Amino acid sequence: MLKNFSFSNGKGKVFAHHIIQSFDPKDNITPEQAHEIGEKMMLQFTEGKHEFVIATHVDQDQIHNHIIFNSTSNVDLKKFRWKKITASNLRKISDEMALEYGIQPLKKNIRL
């Protein structure tokens, strides 16, 4: 499961995005694998242009990553814009990572 949240100053300025990436307990992955999947996904998703931090949590039934990435590129200083197509792109990358690691892709009825 993937969820997206934005951090702003209340005036329309988005400073960072927060993504929660959850893994099905049936996938039986380790916290290290979950972290690695999150890192690879974000490098591909941001094209390596946005700084991000990943916190992998094991405090619930399912392992999950909290990923926060800077909305301003550290390469060209352009802002990241979350558009309708962005969720589809993230889903595609997430599903590719799932296939690579032999885990369940996102369910089709899940909205980002």
- pLDDT score, position 10: 58
- Helix/strand/coil for 24: coil
Domains of the chain, earliest start first: 2-101 (3.30.930.30)
pLDDT digits (tens, 9 = 90+) for 90-111: 989 999 999 999 998 876 655 5
- pLDDT score, position 8: 56
Q: What pTM did the predictor assign?
A: 0.84
Residue 53 has pLDDT above 90, yes or no: yes
Amino acid at 32: E
The answer to whether 53 touches 39, Cβ cutoff 8 Å, is no
Helix (H) or strand (E) holding 54: strand 52-57
Residues of the chain with pLDDT > 70, as a percent, come to: 84
Q: How far apart are CA 105 and CA 18, in angstroms?
A: 20
